[in-house]
Amino acid sequence: MPELLFRTEDIRPDEILDILVETRADRETIEQLKGRAPVVLRGSRGVGKSFLLRAAEAELSNAFTEDRVLPVYVTFARASLIADPTPARFLSWMMAKLCNRLSRALRTHGCGLGASSALRTLRGDSAADGNSALEEIEARLEDSWQGEVATEPVASDPVPGPEDFMDAIEDICQELRLRRIVLFIDEAAHVFIPEQQRQFFTLMRDIRSPYLAVKAAVYPGATSYGTSFQMSHDATLISVDRGVTDEGYAGSMREMVYKQDASLRQSIETQGEVFDTLAFAATGNPRILLKTLARSTPLNRRNAQESVRGYYREDIWTEHSGLSERYPGHEALIDWGRQFIENEVLPALHRRNSSDPNETSSFIWVHKDAPQTVKEALRLLCYSGVLQEGVSGIRATRSEIGTRYMVNLGCQFALDGEPISFGANVRRNLSVKRMLEFGANHALFREIAKFDLDAINDAGNQALVHQLARSTDVLDITPFQRDKLDELELVTVGAVLAASEKDFQKAWYVGETRARQIRNAAIAAVYEYLSG
């Protein structure tokens, strides 16, 4: 089985540009990420948000000597580990995190600040072990899930507020002759804690300046921007969607695989229709393609069909239903959304495409005045990758206005007895003009229309203890990595998180380098699971 890399976290920063296969839309996105304007990069899991952030970071790093634009990559994945994340704790953690990563980026790019006041702001008072005070604060908050360390900020903590941080940024740029600093904040606000999300976007608005550009990656269907952050004024929203109807879509997906493992070229070219059906089934999501391709090895029709049925009939729905454990109070929305798509939409699309194969569809249209509960359920389906939100303001029958969504093609292919043949015909004749339409008062909406959205509580990290106690079976890792966790008897999510690199080296045939790779992959999977 080829060991394909499913996550950007598994790729070294200096390898990113070597395996970049960009579409025209990708290039436009990267240029905007490198630019001066704030950007919110939105897309479901696995579509490539982190990869695009890293690609923009790498290009700025390569051009740093000439252009003097400093890239700083930050991930907020560990936000879910902050026990009882009060607003004061979360703000302290965010500011410490930003200061520490900025200090690291300055050192990496050879930018010395001597003993300037700006450096003191970024580091705080020096700690006894040589770390900065802010590094200790960051670590203390991220370790608070263990219940063994104090988490409440105190008056003596030297964490700068947004205004002091902005002053330090301006001083740094002037002293080092930097044109600007670009913060790439990955997994910025998808931890299913709306209060944290709103607090982050308030901070994003507050630290905007000519010397600092913030680029934040978020998920659809799980983000609360709050009232103080106005997308139309405070940032440019970019959706990361690889359109399956775009020219060259299948070719670009092939190149993504070739860049990772050139040895697969011959089998993919021999089994062209099989691979292309897998690529279209993924509906623009590279991670899903790589996972289903790995399951189809050796690549042939039978293996691919089993892979499609297994992933799109079971795995994708298991992941969606599992959101209720990490999104307390939303079970009714999650369950209704699954029933709506699985029991109503997919069978209707399959019947239509089977009866009229000359013009196929995988699109639905929902009236703009549909109940808000329906829209929330559809947003959660977008988060899971079951739906892809399209264009709002689309006119349908009788000139009514609504939003068009694309239903994941793989979920439709998996319904057929011959997923490869059926999928090949659907993708060749796919038309955005044909949509299943659901009016404002459609009968299927009645069940969920009276659900009280105001009754949903911000449960914060109440479920964290339960999540840490769950089996490692919930983690999205390779079979080899799972075998090693079993061998080490790391059977729960919390045990993986607490294990050291030396613990991982106890596994058979795992040296220092391999242990680090396995641990990094497992920890990344833990963070993604805890975050949602």
Specify the CATH number for the domain of residue 484: 1.10.150.20
Q: What is the pLDDT of residue 233?
A: 86
Nearest to 276 by CA among 258, 250, 315, 295: 250
378, 439 Cβ separation under 8 angstroms: no
User: Are residues 229 and 255 located together in one domain of the fold?
Assistant: no
Compute the chain's Rg from CA coordinates: 24
Q: What is the pLDDT of residue 86?
A: 80
The answer to whether residue 461 sits within a structural domain is no
The answer to whether residue 118 sits within a structural domain is yes
More confident residue, 434 or 29: 29
Q: What is the pLDDT of residue 73?
A: 96
User: Are residues 123 and 265 located together in one domain of the fold?
Assistant: no
Domain of residue 82, residue span? 8-239
The identity of residue 476, as a single letter, is D
Specify the CATH number for the domain of residue 227: 3.40.50
The answer to whether residue 208 sits within a structural domain is yes
User: Are residues 169 and 99 located together in one domain of the fold?
Assistant: yes
- Name the β-bridge partners of 330: none
The string of DSSP codes covering 50-101 is HHHHHHHHHHHHHTHHHH-EEEEEEE-GGGGGSSS--HHHHHHHHHHHHHHH
Residue 171 tokens read as: 């001083």
User: Are residues 65 and 164 located together in one domain of the fold?
Assistant: yes
* Predicted TM-score (pTM) of this structure: 0.78
**What percent of the chain lies above the pLDDT cut of 90?**
43
Residue 250: CB atoms within 10 Å: 18
User: Are residues 148 and 227 located together in one domain of the fold?
Assistant: yes
Ranges of beta strands (E only) in 245-338 are none
User: Are residues 265 and 356 located together in one domain of the fold?
Assistant: yes
User: Are residues 83 and 203 located together in one domain of the fold?
Assistant: yes
Q: What is the pLDDT of residue 315?
A: 92
**Domain tally for the chain?**
3
The answer to whether residue 464 sits within a structural domain is no
| Most confident option among 17-26, 209-218, 327-336, 491-500 | 209-218
Q: Is 155 helix (H, G, I), strand (E, B) or coil?
A: coil
| Most confident option among 39-53, 252-266, 404-418, 481-495 | 404-418
Give the CA dihedral 364, 365, 366, 367, nearest 10 degrees. Answer: -170
The answer to whether residue 77 sits within a structural domain is yes
Q: Between the CA of residue 85 and those of 141, 175, 316, 380, what are the distances in Å?
A: 9, 36, 30, 24
Whether the ω angle into residue 298 lies within 30 degrees of 0, i.e. cis, is yes
Burial of 378 (0-12, 13-18, 19+ CB in 10 A): buried
Sequence-distant (≥ 6) Cβ neighbours of residue 489 within 8 angstroms:
none
Nearest to 527 by CA among 68, 64, 77: 77
Q: Which pLDDT tens digit goes with each residue over 221-236?
A: 656 677 788 887 889 9
Nearest to 8 by CA among 29, 105, 17, 139: 17
Stretch 380-409: mean pLDDT:
87
User: Are residues 395 and 445 located together in one domain of the fold?
Assistant: yes
The identity of residue 389, as a single letter, is E
The answer to whether residue 512 sits within a structural domain is yes
- Name the β-bridge partners of 213: 182
State yes or no: pLDDT of 154 exceeds 70: no
Q: Is 464 helix (H, G, I), strand (E, B) or coil?
A: helix
Q: What is the pLDDT of residue 183?
A: 97
Q: Between the CA of residue 74 and those of 138, 141, 183, 187, what are the distances in Å?
A: 13, 16, 7, 9
User: Are residues 335 and 230 located together in one domain of the fold?
Assistant: no
Residue 23 tokens read as: 């579409």
The number of angstroms, rounded, from the C-alpha of 528 to the middle of its chain's C-alpha atoms is 8
Out of 239, 267, 298, a domain closes at: 239
- Of 318-322, 359-363, 374-378, 497-501, give the lowest mean pLDDT range: 497-501
Residue 187 tokens read as: 């997994």
Out of 184, 212, 239, a domain closes at: 239
The answer to whether residue 411 sits within a structural domain is yes
User: Are residues 264 and 228 located together in one domain of the fold?
Assistant: no
User: Are residues 171 and 276 located together in one domain of the fold?
Assistant: no
Residue in this structure with the two tokens 């940024």, named with its chain if needed: 169
Q: Which pLDDT tens digit goes with each residue over 355-370?
A: 988 999 999 999 989 9
User: Are residues 335 and 406 located together in one domain of the fold?
Assistant: yes
363-367 and 436-438 strand pairing: parallel
Whole-number average pLDDT of the chain: 84
Nearest to 146 by CA among 81, 192, 90, 80: 81
Question: How many angstroms separate the CA atoms of 301 and 311, rounded?
Answer: 15
Out of 205, 220, 239, a domain closes at: 239
363-367 and 236-239 strand pairing: unpaired
The answer to whether residue 129 sits within a structural domain is yes
Question: How many angstroms separate the CA atoms of 531 and 474, rounded?
Answer: 13
More confident residue, 70 or 518: 70
Q: Which pLDDT tens digit goes with each residue over 5-61?
A: 666 767 787 888 888 878 888 899 999 999 999 999 988 777 888 899 999 999 999
Nearest to 145 by CA among 80, 223, 194, 206: 80
Q: Which pLDDT tens digit goes with each residue over 167-201?
A: 999 999 999 999 999 999 988 765 556 778 888 89
